[in-house]
Amino acid sequence: MDQYKNGQNIAAAEEQNIRTDFKESMTYGEYLHLDKILSAQHSASGHHDESLFIIIHQVSELWMKLILHELSAAIRHIEADDLQPAFKQLARVSRIQSQIIQGWDVLSTLTPAEYLEFRDDLGDASGFQSYQYRMIEFALGYKTKHVLSIYEKDPALHEELTKAFYAPGLYDAAIQKLARSGFEIDDSVLARDVSTVYESNDSVRKAWKEVYRNVDEHWELYQLAEKLVDIEDWLQQWRFRHMKTVERIIGFKPGTGGSSGVNYLKKVLDQYFFPELWQIRTDV
């Protein structure tokens, strides 16, 4: 007992400088604006389990905000031929993706009976409408113009999404880097309309094959390629966990926003963002 008390006394002595008076300085909660964050969960139904549903989606949106922050910076660094910072940023994106994937494990504790208690109160609101997810897709090169109409209700947001839609994506930056590194890339790719969905090209496939066959000579490009593969791999795992969670909770019912639900989520699993980086695994 004396030894326990001595330990407490030592610990108390070591923490004498902990600040307790914040009348004139900023607190942790103020810095993070926790009053706004923690009061942003407004239940439409009052059902106990709706809090789980709201918080999981809000947390995912915060993570997606950080993904977009890192992707934008990575694209700028690749365009400036400064790859080392881009590697760190892309690696961080992959770590964030793993966190979002784990969120589905928490949401999957919601049973069909529990979700039915408040599903109708969501109206037409649906994760399909997540504008940040669309911006991530745009940044990775998957662009479908018809989705922009979802956001016409908010002119400022619609303008932001339209700008992102017509901006070069991460893979565009990577392919341009291949060309600047001396690889022969077709002009049709280098001058392509970046608002269209990217399609596999033989010259790009040949360039990446050369990178993988001569890793020592093209070490930075090899690292870039693997970072891109990591991101697409994690995104497909996120999509798969999304699909299985939705199937577990609502089966094959249509989504609240009018999508086909699980059938739509299964279909997008076949999409590729960086097709040549997967094709060359057979070639090398």
How high is the mean pLDDT in each 10-residue block of the chain (284 residues)?
Answer: 59 70 87 96 95 96 98 98 98 97 95 94 88 96 92 95 97 98 98 96 98 98 98 95 92 78 86 96 93
Instruction: State yes or no: 144 annotated in a binding site.
Output: no
42 annotated as belonging to a binding site for a ligand: no
Binding site annotation covers 242?
A: yes
55 marked as binding residue: yes
Is 119 annotated in a binding site? The answer is yes
Q: How far apart are CA 51 and CA 107, in angstroms?
A: 11
48 marked as part of a ligand binding site: no
What are the structural domains, with CATH classification, of the chain? 46-181+201-251+262-281 (1.20.58.480)
Structure tokens at 278: 């997967």
Check residue 108 and give its pLDDT.
Answer: 95
Chain length of the chain: 284
239 annotated as belonging to a binding site for a ligand: no
Q: Residue 5's pLDDT is what?
A: 61
| 53 annotated to a ligand binding site | yes
Which residues neighbour 30 within 8 Å (Cβ) at sequence distance 6 or greater?
none
List helix spans (H) across the chain.
2-14, 28-32, 34-37, 50-79, 83-107, 112-116, 131-140, 155-165, 170-180, 187-190, 202-213, 219-250, 262-268, 275-283
Is the four-CA dihedral 156, 157, 161, 167 of positive or negative sign?
Answer: positive
Cβ atoms of 178 and 221 within 8 Å: the answer is yes
User: How far apart are alpha carbons 63 and 269 in whole angstroms?
Assistant: 21
33 is in an annotated binding site: no
pTM: 0.90
Residue 195 makes CB contacts below 8 A (sequence gap 6+) with 143, 145, 165, 166
